[in-house]
Structure 1
Amino acid sequence: MSDSRTRASYHHGSLRETLVRASLELIRAEGIGAVSLRRVAREAGVSPGAPYHHFPDRAALLTAIAGEGFGMLEERLVGARAAAASPAAALTAMTEAYVRFAHEQPAYFHLMFRPELARPDKDAAAKQAAERSFQVLCDVVADCQLAGDVPAGDPGALVTALWALAHGLASLWVDGPLDGRATPLAGSTEALVTQIAQGVATVLAGAARAGVRLGP
């Protein structure tokens, strides 16, 4: 980023955004370990003390990035839900959207679930963004229960299991191993994720028809 562009950004009050963007570029290029307030300031072309106007320490900067990531994830999930023709279809679409988000935005994804690096629970905005993204899944499971597409009863364990499925697939794709397995099985990772999500929806629908009930 040029000095003139950085000065203009700072002048217009977007120093925080400039620092976040510089951090993301560092993460993509060199990994999370490269991020420090001093290094980010240098990459952004501002003084070493400038980041402290917005972030008291490295953890606060990484937490802000994680919060932004949760907001992006929520937008993806809400969009997938809105475009789906039924609650069951929404559940499948949201699994796919979650996995695609991780694959397309690994710099965010790697921070969002690393409590030793980012602490959304310590930042109100980041915590709310994380909770909203999770609530979308809770709401869709509730919709599926009303439609008879998943077993009735306490949905807590089912919501957690579906989140774990999506997150596990996302992690395997982002970290590499899934591609090698997916090609012989389904032709592509995207196709395999779709097959898995649809298969889980089919199993849940069968369980609901059989009268299986969630919870004790």
Structure 2
Amino acid sequence: MSQTGATPRRRNPRGQGQVLKTQLLEAAAHLLATMDRPETLTLRQVAREVGVAPASIYSHFPDLGSLIQQVLHLRYEELAARMNDAAGTASSPLEELVARCAAYIHWGVEHPGEYRTLFGGGMPETLVPFDTHGVGEEILASVISVLSDVTTAPGRKPDPHEDWQAGLLLWTGMHGLVALYNAHGAIDWPPLDDLTAKVLGKHASQPAPVVAKILRTLKEPDSGRPVDPHHS
């Protein structure tokens, strides 16, 4: 065994360096999602997970920060695609808001480790600068925009500052729901869609039964109704 502890690995054939890059991203994503303290991740751990020497990583990523940032970018894109796909079936601003937010909540509950990777905090800014979260800002902007469409009275000009605050409060409610639902699975939670309807109803100034009805009729593409892990 080498001093690095890595399992000997056959070199990828010429032109297949992308294979190793993908393996490194998958390994880093897995470790970030499953480690008790993901902020302590090292390149040596990623290399061991894949079965290569740590030096092999530098052909694809100059440092640990760039590897983590790429993982975050891919996870944000995955979440954004889920929300955009769900919103594609909407026929009104309220339906779009419900579809986007329900997709966000269900993705977070179905992928707790990945959700924590994106929104759990703890990563030092030296590894993950603020501008790494660009796609995350786009996700929030999409929710703020459609929330404004739902809540702005006819004939009234939207107020960007108020819209921003309202969107942040809605995101706070959704994040709190996902984080607590994931962290305290032993609690006898009500069905996730019921909780979602109440959170969205409060922030969108809509009766919860109206939101619940939309949740029952909207289906995410190719998956049917989102799965509720605690009430399957």
Q: TM-score, normalised by structure 2?
A: 0.69
Distance 2:134 2:46 in 1: 26
Match of 1:171 in 2: 179
- Cα deviation for residue 33 of structure 1 reads 5.5
Cα shift readout 1:147-192 (whole Å, capped 9, x = no counterpart) = 75x9954311111111111111111122225x6141xxx3x3x233
Give the letter aligned to residue 191 of structure 1: D
1:14 aligns with 2:19: yes
Match of 1:210 in 2: none
1:204 aligns with 2:205: yes
- Cα deviation for residue 71 of structure 1 reads 1.0
Give the letter aligned to residue 180 of structure 1: I
Judge conservation of contact 2:144–2:166 (CA < 8 Å) in 1: no
Ranges in structure 1 where 5+ consecutive residues have no aligned partner: 207-216
Identity %: 23
- The runs of at least 4 consecutive aligned structure 1 residues that moved more than 6 Å come to none
What CA RMSD, in Å, does the superposition of the two structures yield over aligned residues? 3.2
1:70 aligns with 2:76: yes
Count, aligned residues: 194
Distance 2:167 2:40 in 1: 35
Could you say which structure has the higher helix fraction? 1
1:41 aligns with 2:47: yes
**Structure 1 residues 30 and 155: alpha-carbon distance in aligned structure 2, compared to 1, 3 A threshold:** closer
SS at match of 2:18: coil
**Structure 1 residues 151 and 89: alpha-carbon distance in aligned structure 2, compared to 1, 3 A threshold:** farther
Ranges in structure 2 where 5+ consecutive residues have no aligned partner: 1-6, 208-232
Distance 1:9 1:120 in 2: 34
**Structure 1 residues 9 and 44: alpha-carbon distance in aligned structure 2, compared to 1, 3 A threshold:** farther
